[in-house]
Amino acid sequence: MQSLVCGLALLAAGAVCARETALPPAVLKALARAQVPPEAVSVVVEEAGAPGRPLLSHRAGAAMNPASVMKLVPTLAALEILGPTWTWATPVYVEGTAREGTLYGNLYIKGQGDPKLVAERLWLLMRRIQGMDFRNIAGDIVLDRSAFEAIAHDPAEFDGEPLRPYNAAPDALLLNFKSVLMTFVPERGANAAHLHVEPPLAGVQWPTHVPLREGECNDYRSALRADFSDPARVQFGGRYPAACGEKVWPLAYTDPASYNVRAIEGMWRAIGGQLQGRVREGRVPDTLSPAFALESPPLAEIVRDINKYSNNVMTQQVFLTLSLQQQGRGTLAGSRAVLLDWWRERFGTGDEPQISTGSGLSRNDRISAQALARLLQHAWASPLMPELMTSLPISGVDGTLRRSRWQARASAHLKTGSLRDVVALAGLVHGSKGQRHVLVAIINHPNAGAARPAMEALVEWVAQQPAGGGRRRGLVPSD
């Protein structure tokens, strides 16, 4: 039955259906300890450059929720459709005339999806504006966010952590992930930790310092007893542990709807600018042309940030950019259509991913291990292989795998995925003798989190396999 299902699903795409093979004993033992049945696991292992001839194939055609491993699909699609050197432009428009350091009119900033318009680059944008020889704006600063559709978003839906910056909603004008960086610097002589906040937010009061306490650092955030209930006034009811030294706490602003207005005005005034009017949202008049545009880092750099650290909102920015560039406006439905067209052109029909926002956070996302293996094999043979592969976390070294206790340290480049009931890995495993294998492994089960040792055992097993092992061991049916 498995062969029949595989054949029907992949026939149109011309893929090879492999005979089901047993999971390695070490993996089975780890799954048993986690109380996860093999029926909840999907695995494909192939020699890189030899697609469709797996060394290991277990439930390869099953539609699974891949969590953040799904990010591989839109990031590779974007690299191919937009190109690795693609950059986002954030244009600035001037309406009116400037005389003696004052702009008599409005200034417009139009967001076009830049995923990395962080505080440092926002500062550069403001400085570029002042470089037009005015520091006083007699009118308004108008923010145009119309390039993307408004998307309903619950920042607590993913993991119940609404104040984590990675849970921000996508936005055509995404400023610093709608977040602040709070830096605490203890000074024992003053018995206080000085607090510095970036970017400055207009109308928000922050304490300048927090009292110190002795004792171990431990969970310093809980020790501070922060009160974020009033977006205009942040307070701390506790003390900062002196043993922590300097710490930086990234925090999503509690009123994201007002963030852009506060951040623009706060930064403008912080660098000496004056504003007679206000910061507000609106549209750029059709009659205006850009005075200048701030360019983003190239897409290849953005993809590294996305996959190394599994940045959800940056993925969604890239995803929405696909339809913005092809259809004139960034929409989820439009980007899904662009992505599916790209997929079918390269891989045919019958095994397409079911994708929601590109980030992999949706419980409705589905893709098979076989489909992901085909995508990785396609990437391996592509001129863009270095851009995608170097974006993946290195086992036990960096990104989302930095803190993992991998025995096979630095032996794999793997995108990770994790949701409640989901653990997944996909990427490239490097053997001790130079062999390279594509690996995709997905677990969908209530005990998936406890099965991480099974994933590590699988990576260890793959790293020990010789090149061409699948063909030599006769694991593939004859053509």
Q: Which two tokens stand for residue 294?
A: 């701030």
pLDDT bracket for residue 159 (50, 70, 90): low
Q: Find out whether the peptide bond into 199 is cis, omega within 30 degrees of 0.
A: yes
Q: Report the distance separating Cα 29 and Cα 22, nearest Å.
A: 13
- Enter the pTM of the model: 0.91
> Residue 165 — pLDDT band, cuts 50, 70, 90?
confident
> Distance of CA 64 to CAs 3, 37, 41, Å?
18, 15, 9
Q: Do the Cβ atoms of 449 and 15 come closer than 8 Å? A: no
In whole angstroms, what is the distance from residue 428 CA to residue 392 CA? Answer: 9
Q: Do 109 and 294 meet the contact criterion of CB atoms below 8 Å apart?
A: no
Instruction: Compute the mean pLDDT over every residue in the chain, rounded to the nearest whole number.
Output: 91
Return the H-helix or E-strand segment holding 422: strand 422-430
Residue type, 186: P
Segment 62-72 shows an average pLDDT of 98
The residue behind tokens 């109380």 is: 35
Matching CATH topology for 2-85+299-472 and 89-145+273-295? Answer: no
At residue 408, the pLDDT reads 66
pLDDT in tens, 280-337: 999 999 999 999 999 999 999 999 999 999 999 999 999 999 999 999 999 999 999 9
Q: Are 184 and 240 in contact (CB under 8 A)?
A: yes
Percent of the chain residues topping a pLDDT of 70: 92
CA distance 135 to 138: 10
| Token digits of residue 347 | 């891989």
pLDDT single digits (tens) 82-136:
999 999 999 999 999 999 999 999 999 999 999 999 999 999 999 999 999 999 9
The single-letter code of the amino acid at 175 is: L
Please name which of 353, 377, 461 lies closest in space to residue 46, comparing C-alpha atoms.
377
Would you say 41 and 31 are in contact if contact means Cβ atoms under 8 Å apart?
Answer: yes
Q: Helix or strand or coil: residue 315?
A: helix
> Cα separation of 149 and 60, whole Å?
36
pLDDT in tens, 348-373: 999 999 999 999 989 999 999 999 99
DSSP calls for 96-160: EEEETEEEEEEEEEE----TTB-HHHHHHHHHHHHTTSEEEESS-EEEE-TTB------TTTTTS
Please calculate the CA angle 337-342-358 and round it to the nearest 5 degrees.
60
Helix (H, G, I), strand (E, B) or coil at 415: strand
Nearest to 356 by CA among 74, 10, 161: 74
- Report d(CA 339, CA 426) in Å as an integer: 19
Amino acid identity of 10?
Answer: L
Q: Please tell me the distance from the alpha carbon of residue 69 to that of residue 197, in angstroms, as a whole number.
A: 33
Q: What is the mean pLDDT of residues 232-252?
A: 96
Stated as kind and residue range, the H or E segment containing 327 is: helix 312-327
**By three-state DSSP, how is residue 164 classified?**
coil
What is the per-residue pLDDT for 1? 42
The CATH number of 2-85+299-472, from 3.40.710.10, 3.20.20.70, 3.30.300.160, 3.40.50.150, is 3.40.710.10
CA distances from 323 to 79, 335, 344, 366 (A): 14, 5, 17, 21
Q: Residue 346: how many CA atoms within 13 Å on its side-chain side?
A: 22
pLDDT at 239 over 80: yes
Give the three-class secondary structure for 358.
coil
Q: Measured on CA atoms in the order 180, 184, 190, 191, is the torsion positive or negative? A: positive
Name the residue ranges covered by the structural domains of the chain.
Answer: 2-85+299-472, 89-145+273-295, 165-257
Contact status, residue 468 vs residue 47, Cβ threshold 8 Å: yes
Could you give the CA distance from residue 196 to residue 249 in angstroms, rounded to a whole number? 11
CA distances, 385 to each of 55, 373, 376, 399, 441 (Å):
22, 14, 9, 19, 20
CATH number assigned to the domain with residue range 89-145+273-295, chosen from the 4 options 1.10.260.40, 3.40.50.1100, 3.50.80.20, 3.10.129.10: 3.50.80.20
Which own/partner pairs from 468-473 qualify as long-range (CB within 8 Å, at least 24 positions apart)?
468/47, 468/50, 469/47, 469/55, 470/45, 470/46, 470/47, 470/50, 470/53, 470/54, 470/55, 470/56, 471/50, 471/53, 473/55
What is the Cα–Cα distance from 424 to 406, expressed in whole angstroms?
16
The two structure tokens encoding residue 111: 């967001």
Residues forming beta bridges with residue 426, ordered by sequence position: 415, 440
Q: Which range among 8-22, 387-401, 460-474 has the greatest average pLDDT?
A: 387-401
